[in-house]
Amino acid sequence: MPEMSGFRRWVCLDVGECLIDETRIWSTWADVLGVPRFTLAAVVGGAILRGETHVEAFDLLGRPDWVDHWEAVDAAYGAFRPSDLYPDALPALALLRSSGYGVAVMGNQPACRHDQLLALGVDVDVLAMSEALGVAKPDPAFFARAVELMGSPEPGHVVYVGDRVDNDVLASLAAGLRAIWIRRGPWGLLHHLPTGAPAVPQARSLAELSDLLPACFTPSHLGGTRVK
């Protein structure tokens, strides 16, 4: 059962590549910048493999001015659409809640995404975006704020689900939370756990969460095997 020692067990999910397929936003960036979509995808993938960020990818494409195009991209992209949701997103959230878990959705996103996710039917106990919080991953303060919004359960009673090793997996573990690595999207598929990092459960879809979660809450989970 999801109750443990008087504390409620929580599952906190990222937004991008966890609930939302980001194909359309990256395609929009390519179109606005006048870069072929396939080229942008390949260059971003290469940057991920080298441990770099999208900033280095845009520099390589000769577009260091990309930050000047935020408004144009926002206008072209608009709001989240139902088609942007991964098919397993809403069913997984519903199953988690019906199973008695507290469910939160928190990610590095503009504040406007809050209402857009609500409009898509994302029905959870806690919903908050980094811009509104004033702090973003991988800052430990982001996870501290997340736990506070959940009613301050013990951090070990919270599992964070995300696609990125740096922002999601390692950062949440460092904050004392548990982690599940969702292996989809460019970061989820191309990132790798560094040598010596704690092993974490991995999922290819959110449909696998229910099977993975019980083991996440065992006392020995955080002290488990390490990647060699």
**pLDDT tens readout for residues 130-186:** 999 999 999 999 999 999 999 988 888 999 999 999 999 999 999 999 999 999 999
The domain ranges of the chain are 3-20+83-223, 23-77
Task: Specify the DSSP element, H or E, that contains 162.
Answer: strand 158-162
Please provide residue 136's backbone torsions phi and psi, each rounded to the nearest 5 degrees.
-130, 160
The class that CATH gives domain 3-20+83-223 is alpha beta
Sequence-distant (≥ 6) Cβ neighbours of residue 118 within 8 angstroms: 127
Please provide residue 105's backbone torsions phi and psi, each rounded to the nearest 5 degrees.
-125, 115
The tens digit of pLDDT for each residue in 175-222 reads 999 999 999 999 999 999 999 988 899 999 999 999 999 999 876 554
Instruction: Indicate the pTM of the whole model.
Output: 0.91
Please tell me the distance from the alpha carbon of residue 37 to that of residue 130, in angstroms, as a whole number. 27
The tens digit of pLDDT for each residue in 25-43 reads 999 999 999 999 999 999 9
Are 167 and 140 spatial neighbours (Cβ–Cβ below 8 Å)?
no
| 3-class secondary-structure state, position 180 | strand
